[in-house]
Amino acid sequence: MQDRVRVRDALRAPADGRRITVAGWVRTKRAGKSVSFLEINDGSCLSNIQATIDGADRELAAAVEPVSTGASVVVTGTLVESPGQNQAVEIAATGLVLVGPSPGDEYPLQKKRHSFEYLREIAHLRPRTNTFGAIARVRNHISFAIHRFFNERGFLYVHTPIITASDAEGAGELFQVTTLELEKLPGSSSPQVDYGRDFFGRPAFLTVSGQLNAEIYATAMDRVYTFGPTFRAENSNTTRHLAEFWMIEPEVSFCDIHGNMDLAEEFLKVLIRGLLAECEEDMAFFDQRIEKGLVESLRSVAESDFNRITYTEAVEALTNSGASFEYPVSWGRDLQSEHEKFLTEEIYRGPVIVTDYPRDIKAFYMKQNDDGRTVRGMDVLVPRLGEIIGGSQREENLDALEARIVELGLERDDYWWYLELRRFGTVPHSGFGLGFERFIQYCTGMQNIRDVIPFPRTPGNAAF
């Protein structure tokens, strides 16, 4: 295995007859009398490399005989110019080792196109398809690009906890973490749980957001971000919600809502540009097979200014459009995804940042405006998906924050440390959360969020 070449590098090498060895999984085999062909993929790129097996070579012909779709092989040969249309080079095999055979007709991935629903049922094999291989590479590329983006701008990467005692969003979509044997709790009457005997001595949950902890570090280190898994017991079965997803959350001191919008816009544009430049082959695949015009629309997003409007303006624009919606539009109600899509697809034809939402539909920590009824929240909306980023300028005024916590009936004592950040050296600060999978959906055109994460967790489904 030492001098094995990845398929990606082999395909870029000159056809100079060099000896090479590749290893991978057989995507297709075409057996002929005089020559047989193997298409081999090793995940390093979308393309397969073709190996030709000379039927006149008895030993080779015998070795290729039991090889079929799905098998793993190691092929040695010389890299030569390919007479075929689809590739510049191919391997003229001189040696072939069948590492792991595959009963070809039982292999769940046949040459025909499989539905994404079917592929979800074989999530252990779906990375061997073109689509899921491309998604895995794009996720990998964007993950690194995110760290690079923040690193180059002096942001500190903070590891916020996964287990937490606070509900950052106050939305009540929490998964509880406990070592109590719940099945031993009496089922008849509702039992009084003695949390003193639970692992943490109090109720604990999987985090829905790293924001509150990120604020602690932002008010010491100036600018930070977290990038980790978050969990929401979303009971909605939509194509945009997972129970476990990854979120990127920058938090910046001495920054107001405008700086926050600038950061979000630059962030998305830099990521899109990098993706188009560095994942060309995979992006061309998504453009051709998943969403026509994808690359062109991403390019134009990366090059034009995002529209910025207030919630009040959004409500007016939707009302004046005369369009009819399933959910009514009126000031004070949250925008539904149909409204978000209409704004981005029909009215503004591109990304829109909506700010200054009614305080009653947003979280307690958002900075209150002087009008007494709106807060400095911002959502970034994009065509096809609606919300992709949610963020805000945070309330840095101790009295205002305290009053809001009391007004909402939240436990003041639960937020004692959060309030102290406002008591000692408070500072205007802002941040946002980008749903990693929503962004991958946006960049690939994939319709269902279950297909852009390796192992989706949704209501009733935690297989694999």
Residues that bind ligand ATP (CB under 6 A): 169, 232, 234, 241-242, 245, 247, 387-390, 433, 435, 437-438
**Are the C-beta atoms of residues 93 and 52 closer than 8 Å to each other?**
yes
Q: How far is the CB of 170 from ligand ATP (least distance, A)?
A: 10
Number of H helices, E strands in the chain: 13, 16
Query: Which three-class secondary structure state does DSSP give residue 440?
Result: helix
307-310 sheet: strands from edge to edge: 156-157, 223-231, 244-253, 429-435, 386-393, 374-382, 352-358, 307-310
When the beta carbons of 79 and 389 are compared against ligand ATP, the nearer one is 389
Please compute Rg for the chain using Cα positions. 27
Q: How far is the CB of 130 from ligand ATP (least distance, A)?
A: 24
State the burial class of residue 271 (Cβ atoms within 10 Å of its Cβ: 0-12, 13-18, 19+).
buried
Distance from first CA to last CA of the chain, Å, rounded? 30
Q: How far is the CB of 390 from ligand ATP (least distance, A)?
A: 2
When the beta carbons of 241 and 422 are compared against ligand ATP, the nearer one is 241
Q: How far is the CB of 7 from ligand ATP (least distance, A)?
A: 33
Q: Which residues are CB-contacts of 139 (< 8 A; sequence separation ≥ 6)?
A: 436, 440, 452
When the beta carbons of 351 and 435 are compared against ligand ATP, the nearer one is 435
Q: How far is the CB of 118 from ligand ATP (least distance, A)?
A: 23
**Are the C-beta atoms of residues 397 and 365 closer than 8 Å to each other?**
no
β-bridge partners, 246:
229
Q: How far is the CB of 209 from ligand ATP (least distance, A)?
A: 6
The residue type at 44: S
**Are the C-beta atoms of residues 210 and 226 closer than 8 Å to each other?**
yes
When the beta carbons of 63 and 388 are compared against ligand ATP, the nearer one is 388
Q: How far is the CB of 295 from ligand ATP (least distance, A)?
A: 22
Q: How far is the CB of 238 from ligand ATP (least distance, A)?
A: 8
Nearest of 405, 365, 389 to residue 215 by alpha carbon: 365
When the beta carbons of 234 and 265 are compared against ligand ATP, the nearer one is 234
Q: How far is the CB of 35 from ligand ATP (least distance, A)?
A: 49
When the beta carbons of 52 and 430 are compared against ligand ATP, the nearer one is 430
When the beta carbons of 2 and 235 are compared against ligand ATP, the nearer one is 235
State the burial class of residue 116 (Cβ atoms within 10 Å of its Cβ: 0-12, 13-18, 19+).
middle
Nearest of 208, 211, 206 to residue 395 by alpha carbon: 211
Distance separating alpha carbons of residues 81 and 91, to the nearest angstrom: 9
Distance separating alpha carbons of residues 452 and 160, to the nearest angstrom: 24
When the beta carbons of 42 and 169 are compared against ligand ATP, the nearer one is 169
| DSSP state letter for 359 | G
Q: How far is the CB of 234 from ligand ATP (least distance, A)?
A: 5
When the beta carbons of 82 and 336 are compared against ligand ATP, the nearer one is 336
| DSSP state letter for 346 | I
When the beta carbons of 186 and 460 are compared against ligand ATP, the nearer one is 460
Query: What angle is formed at CA 84 by the lines to CA 78 and CA 86, rounded to 5 degrees?
Result: 105
